[in-house]
Chains A and B, each alone.
Chain A
């Protein structure tokens, strides 16, 4: 029973929603436009740095939010400016390197006063303004089998806001992907030169997609930071790969794919961890080995998924497969 409660808690957790949010951003990049952004974690990290540093220096929360999102937008412009004129692979190389640069810059001792170097920024330094906005009680609240704090950290308040944002951005994705604007992006995904020959400014459309997806990614990062803390190493390459995994799991180029993918991915991980912990004796697999073991199992499952259902759970096989 504990295992199921854990799975359920993970399924609705704010960090699951935050990942869904970042994956929606990635869906703008890859699902709609075909851009290979391999550095979405960098966008998340920049967002949370901009947000947390602004708040810990006493700026109002709305300004901090704008600064966090603007940082990601500027980052997207800088990355896109030289690379979007080239073929897709260049963007992949540049984004993965740039995301690592952001992380290493954040970790560097010379920026300790600003970013807290490798230990990051403690939640207590920036979470309060958001938590005081909470209409929920300032204590543990139990709904059904799930207990969370009403307002602090990974709370019902944060859960509500983050899932609200997931729904909002899913709606935005739906509206845009069904519009003539989205049609141009899909055209770019299929063949840039053809779209160019039809009189569309491909560079500008790719840039718009990169900025929008990056800003949504930063939003995901900010919401994640509100439930955890700003920790550069938690936004490394694995985070980007998880985002890709859950996007492809749910189904790229679909409205609900990122949301479903995030819930499935994190729930499955918790379930596997819980079951393995209960079934496998400590002498065979020590508790510290459980985490990597469950990741291996989830990885194998995903490989099977890629082989047998390449369009993801919700995807349209004709429209989007991995090899497409």
Chain B
């Protein structure tokens, strides 16, 4: 398989260099007062792979995620995405550069219809400029393309029948699907999923997993934060483990789980409540 060859020469150690990295982060430090939430020396994500970011609660996964996507600013360090420096880049620009994200707490735009949610995800709609907006002929052609693209995605994510419903009326799992579909409207090169399985009922998890694998088959790179080990094992090519803000291990799912440092990190951290994770987000 492609992923095994791509990762064949990669060392199973924290901060390992990848043969074709789409995302590289160096010396990223984020402190909240006296607490160092994230302190990552070196991090690379292989292009066209599915990489999982795991770790016990409070490990700094979501904070690191926010730093990479421009939703939070690091005190130190820099990143490069697809050849573009990420330092100081606002979140909207990161998205336009081709790295889109979803959220742990789903952000469906409740009082807009499903199809309007989808259309909003598209880029290069000239009608989003206020002056052009007055003249429909300037944007209606693009609007038709966008709508067509949205219909295709809605069919694929089995939301087509819901397209005229308000997003607020969808179930939790459907909202996750909508958020993912909406992110795909921008035709991204990299998709960042923050706990895609949180709150999704078991019946939907299988189809969500399939959707994520499809993203890779279409040439996208996926980085996701997840707690669900079943999912991590099933779909990820590479697993990165964080604990106390640092990357403590890297490798394929099977190897990483038996790593002593990883087991210590998990067994040593007895945070059963989800609260610390929420605050972390």
Q: Which residues of A contact B (CB under 8 A)?
A: 172, 175-176, 179-184, 186-187, 189-191, 193-202, 208, 212, 318-320, 324
Known: A199-B92, A202-B92. A180 touches B127 (CB 8 A): yes
Residue from B95, B109, B129, B168 within 8 A of A181 (CB atoms): B129
Asked whether B103 lies within 8 Å of A180 as measured between CB atoms, the reply is: no
With A and B bound together, what is the CA distance between A197 and B183 in angstroms?
A: 8
Q: Which range contains the number of B residues in contact with the other chain?
A: 35 or more
Within 8 A of A (CB), among B165-199: 166, 168, 179, 182-183, 185-186
Whether the pair A186, B103 counts as a contact (CB closer than 8 A) is: no
B37 sits at the interface (CB 8 A): no
A303 to B111, CA, bound (A): 24
Given contacts A198-B95, A198-B120, contact A186 B109 (CB under 8 A): yes
Q: Pick 5 A–B contacts, CB within 8 A, sort by A.
A: A181-B127, A194-B107, A195-B109, A197-B69, A198-B120
B116 touches A198 (CB 8 A): no
Contacts A176-B134, A181-B128, A320-B111; A197 near B119 (Cβ below 8 A):
no
CB of A204, distance to nearest CB on chain B (Å): 9
In Å, the complex CA distance between A42 and B109 comes to 32
User: Could you say which of A175, A195, A196 has the most chain B C-beta atoms within 10 Å of its C-beta?
Assistant: A196
> Bound complex: CA of A198 vs CA of B100, how far in Å?
7
Question: CB-CB < 8 A to B92: which residues of A?
Answer: 196, 198-202
Given contacts A181-B129, A202-B92, contact A197 B112 (CB under 8 A): no
Listed in ascending order, the chain B residues whose CB lies under 8 Å from chain A are 69, 71, 90-93, 95-96, 100-103, 107-112, 116, 119-121, 123, 125, 127-130, 132-134, 136, 139, 143, 166, 168, 179, 182-183, 185-186
Question: Which residues in A have their C-beta under 8 angstroms from that of B168?
Answer: 318
CA distance A168 to B170 in the complex (A): 37
* Chain B contacts for A186, CB-based, 8 A: 109, 111-112, 116
A195→B136 contact, CB < 8 A? no
Contact present for B130 and A190 (CB under 8 Å): no
If A190-B112, A198-B95, A201-B92 touch, whether A184 touches B120 (CB-CB below 8 Å) is yes
Complex CA distance for A179 and B142, rounded to whole angstroms: 12
Main secondary structure of the interface of A (DSSP, over half): helix
- A172–B120 Cα distance when bound, in Å, is 21
The answer to whether A179 and B139 touch across the interface, beta carbons within 8 angstroms, is yes
B186 partner, pick from A181, A199, A201, beta carbons under 8 A: A199
Bound-complex Cα distance A183 to B129 (A): 11
Is B109 a contact of A187 with CB atoms below 8 Å? yes
The 9 A-B pairs with the shortest beta carbon distances in the complex, nearest first, are A180-B127, A199-B95, A179-B133, A194-B107, A190-B109, A181-B133, A199-B96, A180-B128, A196-B91
In the complex, chain A residues whose CB is within 8 Å of the CB of B128:
180-181, 183-184, 200
A197 touches B103 (CB 8 A): yes
Q: Within 8 Å CB of B71, what residues of A?
A: 193, 196-197
Contact between A180 and B119, CB atoms less than 8 A apart: yes
Query: Which of A179, A182, A319 lies at the interface centre, i.e. has the most chain B CB atoms within 10 A of its CB?
Result: A179
B110→A180 contact, CB < 8 A: no
Please report the C-alpha to C-alpha distance between residue A202 and residue B90 in the assembled complex, in whole angstroms: 11
Given A180-B128, A186-B116, A319-B111: A198 and B186 interface contact (C-beta under 8 Å)? yes
What separation, in Å, do the CA atoms of A208 and B71 have in the docked complex? 22
Q: In the complex, A55 Cα to B234 Cα: how many Å?
A: 75
User: Which residues of the other chain, A, contact B120 by a CB distance below 8 angstroms?
Assistant: 183-184, 187, 195, 198, 200
Are B112 and A187 in contact, with the CB atoms below 8 A? yes
Residues of A within 8 A of B95 (CB): 196-199
- Chain B residue numbers with a CB within 8 Å of A200 are 92, 120, 128
Q: Which residues of A contact B91 (CB under 8 A)?
A: 193, 196-197
A198–B183 CB distance below 8 A:
yes
Residue of B with least CB distance to A324 = B111
